[in-house]
Structure 1
Amino acid sequence: MTKKIILDCDPGHDDALAMMLAYANPEIDLVAVTTVAGNQTLKKVTNNALSLATLIGMNEVPIAAGCENPLVNKIKVADDVHGESGIDGTDLPDPEVELQDIHAVDLIIDIIMNNPENTITLVPTGALTNIAMAVRKEPKIVNRVKEVVLMGGGYLESNASAVAEFNIITDPEAAHIVFNAGWKLTMVGLDVTHKALATQDVLDELLKINTETSVKVNELLSFFQAMYKENQGFDFPPVHDPVTVAYLIDPSIMEVKNVPVDIELSGKLTRGMTVVDFSHVIKEKCNTYVGMSLDKEKFWNLIYDALRKIR
């Protein structure tokens, strides 16, 4: 059976790949795309989602815009990595896909409540504001969701402070709500996604596929490479977000461990840290899992296969 997912994202170069993989892989039924402010403002990332949907011919998947600000923080976008538009590096088509006339939080709740229990998986690849708001507005969704597989955090790696990852520190209060909701949750953090590098052989393969979309992905990742080199010292850029979708398609690409995870909110130096208790000081059973490793070859083969199916 296909896995029904809601992709909650802030496109974003790597969000774009997550959307393409979720749309084109036959194991995934992409039932909705929802947007949240993060990599850029809500208006910009929503426009990017609509443009990407137009590019790949994704006409029947509803797209809804969500929260334009974190619960407490002021929004601080990642234009140093994603550029002024949030997805600089190529020309995307003007949107021909219409935005749904419903708030993303309400669409998330409606889909979960109107589908059988344990059939909808949430895949957040940006700040967790929409998901936290949905939990607060309709707590019943927690027991109906099959699982949450999110991109965020890290047990050793960080990229937005000494100890915090960007998606989590953008809205730590929302992350705290989501990580403590009680549902099954898998954290695909930087320790895994920093292994998902778009190396030169990847860029070459994208050109060999030679579709309109694969060529544009090559252009996007080439821009992403330059920005990561300038701002974070990477020779090749990590494509964080599609690892979540790839794991749902083929769980063998990533080893996971069942360990307690919580979000630090009050530490002067550690706000937004994903505190992972590998020592199991917290003895009670937990529903959180942490990604530990990545099979890069399997991961990229899933991306290539998806792009071959898209025009």
Structure 2
Amino acid sequence: MKSVPIIIDCDPGIDDTIALLTAFVSPELEILGITPVCGNQPLERTVRNALQVCELGGRPEIPVHAGCFRPMLRDPIYGQFHGKTGLGNTVLPDPVKTVEAMSAVDFLIDTLERAALSGEHVTVCCLGPMTNLAVALRMRPQITRGIARVVMMGGAYREPGNRTMTSEFNMLADPHAAHVVFSSGVPIVALALDATHQVMLKPEHVAQFVSVSGAISKTLGELMAFWDRNDVARYGSRGGPLHDPLVIAYILAPQLFETARARVFIEYESELCMGQTIADWYGKSGREPSAEIVTKVNAEGIIAFFLERLARYTEKVAA
């Protein structure tokens, strides 16, 4: 089976880290590059975190390209659930590998233009604010011809927001970028809070992951334990939602998800509703659908999927 070429655009981030570690041990994926962006933390920190996670996961050969240091038009905001460094209380060694000279935006343009010429279309995985991709699209709109699809985590449709009453963090952090991407005509699969809140990483799951994940077990346990929101009133249980990892799971195990097509609109003018994502489920706008929105997730299947993948770190040590 031929591997799927992907770019992972992210802002690590605890849940980004789990997504990256999963992708690293998935031979079905050809990771062309990682493009950190300002999001959960300032750019300097998200780049450093990405470099450290590459070394933790044993994939130092994957290039890391530094992205945009701020949103397109608004002032930066940062994540609230990832601790001071973005990795909770976990301290990783200083990275040996270094960031590439080429910027993330230039890397996206170059890679996607070459993909368009060769017919090898690339899947762009957006795990954070979509600034890098939006800037690339504004600079070279024709790169859409090199994109197979964008699989992204962000938004809230029938769920309330997690950063404001109406808005999810990634969309609020750069709503103008989200508007550019959702208006670009590229195929989009959207994993919003409606999907990610269906998969809670509970304390009993953390114990399972620690028991199977070999060389990364201590670090993974620390990250996952820090991710516990302990907010039973909102989520119905202890634990934290598996946001960004579901992007990787969707690519590798789409049978665990159900979707519905809808036109998506992003609010980028009203301060009250800034970053709100609105889905036209019933064609009221008269506009064609612009995204496949994930509506249902097989939570038990997802936990089993990640257990199987992260257990491969034990196999790597054994090998």
TMscore range, shorter length: over 0.9
Q: Retained in 1: the 8 A contact 2:71–2:174? A: yes
Deviation at 1:9, TM superposition (A): 0.2
| Separation (CA, whole Å) in 2 of partners of 1:307 and 1:77 | 28
Q: Retained in 2: the 8 A contact 1:81–1:231? A: no
Q: Does 1:302 align with 2:305?
A: yes
Hey, what does 1:90 align to over in structure 2? 90
The sequence identity of aligned pairs, in percent, is 31
What secondary structure, in the 3-state scheme, does the structure 2 residue paired with 1:70 have?
A: coil
Deviation at 1:138, TM superposition (A): 1.2
Q: Retained in 1: the 8 A contact 2:213–2:310? A: no
Residues 39-188 of structure 1 aligned to structure 2 (within 5 Å): 39-78=40-79, 80-115=80-115, 116-117=118-119, 119-157=121-159, 158-188=161-191
Q: Does 1:282 align with 2:285?
A: yes
Deviation at 1:179, TM superposition (A): 0.6
TM (norm. structure 2) is: 0.92
Q: Which amino acid counterpart does residue 204 of structure 2 have in structure 1?
A: D
What secondary structure, in the 3-state scheme, does the structure 1 residue paired with 2:135 have?
A: helix
Deviation at 1:74, TM superposition (A): 0.8
Which string of whole-angstrom CA distances, capped at 9 and with x for unpartnered residues, describes residues 242-295 of structure 1?
101100111111101111101011224211110101121133432311110111
Unaligned 5+ runs, structure 1: none
Q: Does 1:200 align with 2:187?
A: no
Hey, what does 2:10 align to over in structure 1? 9
What secondary structure, in the 3-state scheme, does the structure 2 residue paired with 1:5 have?
A: strand
Q: Retained in 2: the 8 A contact 1:175–1:263? A: yes
Using a 3 Å threshold, how does the CA distance of structure 1 residues 229 and 101 change in structure 2: closer, same or farther? Answer: same
| Separation (CA, whole Å) in 2 of partners of 1:5 and 1:238 | 24
Q: Does 1:265 align with 2:268?
A: yes
Q: Which amino acid counterpart does residue 41 of structure 2 have in structure 1?
A: Q
Deviation at 1:26, TM superposition (A): 2.1
What secondary structure, in the 3-state scheme, does the structure 2 residue paired with 1:38 have?
A: coil
Unaligned 5+ runs, structure 2: none
Q: Which amino acid counterpart does residue 294 of structure 1 have in structure 2?
A: V
| Separation (CA, whole Å) in 1 of partners of 2:305 and 2:4 | 16
Q: Which amino acid counterpart does residue 158 of structure 2 have in structure 1?
A: L
| Separation (CA, whole Å) in 2 of partners of 1:91 and 1:133 | 32
Q: Which amino acid counterpart does residue 113 of structure 1 have in structure 2?
A: E
Residues 201-220 of structure 1 aligned to structure 2 (within 5 Å): 201-220=204-223
| Separation (CA, whole Å) in 2 of partners of 1:202 and 1:122 | 29
| Separation (CA, whole Å) in 1 of partners of 2:98 and 2:309 | 24
Q: Which amino acid counterpart does residue 127 of structure 1 have in structure 2?
A: P
What secondary structure, in the 3-state scheme, does the structure 2 residue paired with 1:229 have?
A: coil
Deviation at 1:303, TM superposition (A): 1.6
| Separation (CA, whole Å) in 2 of partners of 1:105 and 1:230 | 38
Q: Retained in 1: the 8 A contact 2:43–2:66? A: yes
| Separation (CA, whole Å) in 2 of partners of 1:86 and 1:284 | 39
Q: Retained in 1: the 8 A contact 2:213–2:312? A: no
| Separation (CA, whole Å) in 2 of partners of 1:44 and 1:139 | 29
What secondary structure, in the 3-state scheme, does the structure 1 residue paired with 2:274 have?
A: coil
Q: Retained in 1: the 8 A contact 2:203–2:225? A: no
Using a 3 Å threshold, how does the CA distance of structure 1 residues 268 and 50 change in structure 2: closer, same or farther? Answer: closer
What secondary structure, in the 3-state scheme, does the structure 1 residue paired with 2:92 have?
A: coil
1:247 to 247, 250, 256: 250
